[in-house]
A and B are shown apart, each in its own frame.
Chain A
Amino acid sequence: MRSFIHLFAASTLLVSAESTVALAQNLGQTDILKLAIGSGNQLSELRQADATVNQLSRNGELRQERPITEDPRLPGRTHERLSQYYDGVPIFGAEVTRQTENGMTVSVFGTLHTSINLDTTPVLSPELAAQTIERLAEQPPGSATRSRLVVLPIQSQGDDYRLAYESRIFTGTKLMIYFIDAITGDIAWAFDDLKTQQPALPCEQCAIGQGIGVQADPKKISVTMVGGNFLAYDQLRPADIYTFDMQGDSARTMAVVAGAVPLFDADLATDTDNRWIDGPSVDAHVGMGWTYDYLYQRFGRQSLNNLNVRLIGLVHPINRDVALTTTPELLSLLHLNAFYCGLCGPDGVGLTVFGEGLPPHLRANGQRVNFLAGSLDIVAHELAHGVTDFTSSLLYMDESGALNEAFSDIIAIGVEHYAEPLWQKGVGSADYVIGEDSFVPGGLRSLKTPSLFGDPDHYSLRFLGKDDNGGVHTNALIAGHAYYLAIEGGTNRVSGITVTGVGPENREQIEQVFYRAFTLLMTRDSNFEAARAATIQAARDLYGTNSQAEQAIVQAWTAVGVN
């Protein structure tokens, strides 16, 4: 190992400035360099990738926009995340993660663009771009976030690049990300970034109450006592957790989500005797706390951003009884869904809305839909989107979007399995089905048997259409099923390949592997192939080459057709 490091260190100094092109040629790629290089690759490839990153960093083409972080589990290792710039303008989705150990590079993942030829002088002003976005979204002036000039790769057109302004705007039912061509003023690209569920004591006012969840299960609830009333405001965890009761006022809900209306203490879910009986308030509040606990206890993560950003949940976003008369958009968003919105909320750092479900006599797809907050896995799933937003920022489209969804499912399953034996009461039964406590009978998705819900369990069956941002909820099951197989083992229905899982008793290994890959190694536009490489690298980092975990990961991805 020592000789390897010395050899490696010496060699990096000899790499020429043309290393990017050389590396691209070595990897058989030309215009777009997809890096997924770790300890499984040839040493020369790792050297070249490292030299490329160094060279581009010196040129100012790669810039560090987040501080280098210490590895939470492996002493001596650090992680840096670098964004690529072209002529001083960031290239959307082009970034690299580099893992080092005592200064020596261990892995490099990400995407680099090597043949951009673009004039970066915009014709349009940022203000005009924002006005265009607000007009397109039919929103009042000032609704759009500040426009950012980017180089936008147009994937469908090969090596085409556009100079564009990127801005986000909440339309009331969608969190749209618009890219306005900075030369022509046309829409270059747009997509919905709303992450939905389916298509002694430290403070004097802190109090612990008891609540009854949606499933009539008892739970302890951490609240705050103010003036004889108890508010759903948890101050006992390092991150403040708020649960607001929107009392069925959908207009106000959407205004709050859009940041147009502030939230007040009076909006917090309240109880007079600390014996909480409103199930959705109880489950949302407690579920957010448990998800925080899981992230902290399992991964040492402190809330979504690892800096203890506060968590906000909204319950009763709409009146259940208007399900038959409301608009299809609101029915989908506020009755049948839960969603995390990263830029939403009164301070613009995210909130989660838990759908109201349907009145008992109504069905959706043959299922009764109860309050979505009543499913711990749904609560955890939504918050996990926040973790993704603050780490890999996996683009919520196509394969990266599917991986975004998959990671949320994986965290959701992890929370349930972690909680069941440890916390017992109120947790419910741990399984590999998402949303079974709200969507009765059955649930929404099965990581064990994706085909039960018509989802693909093999890469060859992936959805290739445009709906659902390119099938993010559907194709997520390819990765989710790989996760299941890596733990439990089994035979993939399509490939017939049998996987030897690490076993339920070692599930933490696979959880750690996926968490590491998705939060430290993967980048915004990582695809399934990159996810495979990143998880294999993570398994080697954590458990060693040819470890049981690595073998399970390799077999699982192969079984689901991701090679």
Chain B
Amino acid sequence: MKPGKRETSCRRSRATLALGLMCLLGLLGRDVAAEPDPKPDTINARVNFGWRPTSRNFGGTNAFQVWEEQGSFHSDYEISGGGVTDAGLEMSFWKSLGVGLDISSYKSVNSAKIASRIPHPFFFDLPRSSNGTALGLTRQELGMHLHASWTLQPINWLELSLSGGPSLINARQDLVSTVEHTETGFPFDSVQFSGYSTTTQSETTLGWNTAVDVRAFVLQSMSNRFLQRLGVGLLLRYMRGSVSLAIANTPVEVDLGGLQVTSGIRFRF
């Protein structure tokens, strides 16, 4: 394929991140085509620490019986970015192709905005409203990412690995299960949000992941065999999945994952 056609293809497809990555790989492939493939049977190990900037929202409504009538509260959860730890192995088995397994852990502490409708003690259909915030709600996602990879080596000390595959994701989410209100007294025109309690739900789902790992082994020319194999790397992983959490026995689809940016050490053997 001629370079000009590759550039045209790139312009057409840069609207999407995935195709953009393909373009980048293609361009890199053009420049490095003459470079040698990584050695087969090489195993790359990596340990990363970083951040997941993606924010996600979900919400749900709980209903309950109070004052002889149905009351409710709606919780809006805003899942912010959080720290990510990632570790894995990747082994090339034929030319540039390889397989790998990574485990990543994400954790963030979040809040939820709670809007309640509390029935009036004396009258039907005259609910009072209140607002509050629940704090300290933890979201944890533990992902096991199986992936196939394609590794390029544009220059001698630099590797670039493109990978993708299925992810098994376990999500643990703190949910507001009950709210507490204080009656302000006669004429009971208002209530005060005074507390809440939480439960933790855990669900596992099958999702997918795609990643770019850039590895630099700048010490490979040194005489120490350990240092020769030691490198640093930057991993960009996008994983995605969703689970169904039960809020007041009503299933609520909750999105998992997002872009993870981590960096750490590499070791190949």
Binds B, one of A177-185, A398-406, A421-429: A421-429
Interface residues of B in 109-126 (CB under 8 A from A): 120-126
Interface residues of B in 121-138 (CB under 8 A from A): 121-126
Would A220 and B186 count as touching, CB distance under 8 A?
Answer: no
B122 partner, pick from A200, A218, A222, A238, beta carbons under 8 A: A222
B121 partner, pick from A220, A423, A425, beta carbons under 8 A: A220
Confirm or deny: B183 has a beta carbon within 8 angstroms of a beta carbon on chain A.
yes
A425 proximity list for chain B (CB < 8 A): 123-125
Q: How many residues of A contact B (CB 8 A)?
A: 22
Would B123 and A422 count as touching, CB distance under 8 A?
Answer: yes
How close is B68's CB to chain A, nearest CB, in angstroms?
4
Confirm or deny: A296 has a beta carbon within 8 angstroms of a beta carbon on chain B.
yes
How close is A447's CB to chain B, nearest CB, in angstroms?
26
**Chain B binding surface, main DSSP class:** loop
Bound-state CA distance A428–B65 (Å) is: 25
Confirm or deny: B94 has a beta carbon within 8 angstroms of a beta carbon on chain A.
no
Would A200 and B187 count as touching, CB distance under 8 A?
Answer: no
Would B124 and A222 count as touching, CB distance under 8 A?
Answer: no
Interface residues of B in 81-129 (CB under 8 A from A): 120-126
Contact code string A187-208 (vs B, CB < 8 Å = 1, else 0): 0000000000000111000001
Would A236 and B124 count as touching, CB distance under 8 A?
Answer: no
Would B187 and A220 count as touching, CB distance under 8 A?
Answer: no
Confirm or deny: A470 has a beta carbon within 8 angstroms of a beta carbon on chain B.
no
Interface residues of A in 210-257 (CB under 8 A from B): 210, 218, 220, 222, 236-238
Query: Nearest residue in A to B122 (C-beta to C-beta)?
Result: A220
Confirm or deny: B185 has a beta carbon within 8 angstroms of a beta carbon on chain A.
yes
Interface residues of A in 271-291 (CB under 8 A from B): 289-290
Bound-state CA distance A296–B125 (Å) is: 20
Confirm or deny: A69 has a beta carbon within 8 angstroms of a beta carbon on chain B.
no
Confirm or deny: B67 has a beta carbon within 8 angstroms of a beta carbon on chain A.
yes
Would A208 and B68 count as touching, CB distance under 8 A?
Answer: yes
Would A222 and B121 count as touching, CB distance under 8 A?
Answer: yes
Confirm or deny: B226 has a beta carbon within 8 angstroms of a beta carbon on chain A.
no
Confirm or deny: A80 has a beta carbon within 8 angstroms of a beta carbon on chain B.
no
Would A423 and B123 count as touching, CB distance under 8 A?
Answer: yes
Bound-state CA distance A210–B120 (Å) is: 13
Bound-state CA distance A16–B247 (Å) is: 82
Confirm or deny: B188 has a beta carbon within 8 angstroms of a beta carbon on chain A.
yes
Q: How many A-B residue pairs have CB under 8 A?
A: 51
Confirm or deny: B182 has a beta carbon within 8 angstroms of a beta carbon on chain A.
yes
B124 proximity list for chain A (CB < 8 A): 218, 220, 423-426
Would A209 and B68 count as touching, CB distance under 8 A?
Answer: yes
Bound-state CA distance A208–B66 (Å) is: 9
A297 proximity list for chain B (CB < 8 A): 187
Would A236 and B186 count as touching, CB distance under 8 A?
Answer: yes
How close is A128's CB to chain B, nearest CB, in angstroms?
48
B185 proximity list for chain A (CB < 8 A): 202
How close is A423's CB to chain B, nearest CB, in angstroms?
4
A209 proximity list for chain B (CB < 8 A): 68
Would B123 and A220 count as touching, CB distance under 8 A?
Answer: yes
Interface residues of A in 533-559 (CB under 8 A from B): none
How close is B37's CB to chain A, nearest CB, in angstroms?
72
Would B182 and A200 count as touching, CB distance under 8 A?
Answer: yes
B67 partner, pick from A202, A208, A289, A422, beta carbons under 8 A: A208
Would A201 and B186 count as touching, CB distance under 8 A?
Answer: no
How close is A27's CB to chain B, nearest CB, in angstroms?
44
Known contacts A208-B68, A220-B67, A220-B68: does B183 contact A424 (CB below 8 Å)? Answer: no
Would B186 and A237 count as touching, CB distance under 8 A?
Answer: yes
Confirm or deny: A293 has a beta carbon within 8 angstroms of a beta carbon on chain B.
yes
B181 proximity list for chain A (CB < 8 A): 200
Bound-state CA distance A484–B186 (Å) is: 31
- Residue of A201, A209, A426 most packed against chain B (CB within 10 A): A201
**Which A residues are within 8 Å of any B CB, using their own CB?**
200-202, 208-210, 218, 220, 222, 236-238, 289-290, 293, 296-297, 422-426
**Which B residues are within 8 Å of any A CB, using their own CB?**
67-69, 120-126, 181-183, 185-188
Q: Which 8 A-B pairs have the closest CB atoms?
A: A200-B183, A425-B124, A210-B68, A423-B123, A208-B67, A208-B121, A200-B182, A424-B125
Cβ contacts A to B, 23 pairs, < 8 Å = A200-B181, A201-B121, A201-B183, A208-B67, A208-B121, A209-B68, A218-B124, A220-B69, A220-B121, A220-B124, A222-B121, A222-B122, A236-B188, A238-B186, A289-B122, A290-B122, A293-B122, A296-B187, A297-B187, A422-B123, A422-B126, A424-B124, A424-B125
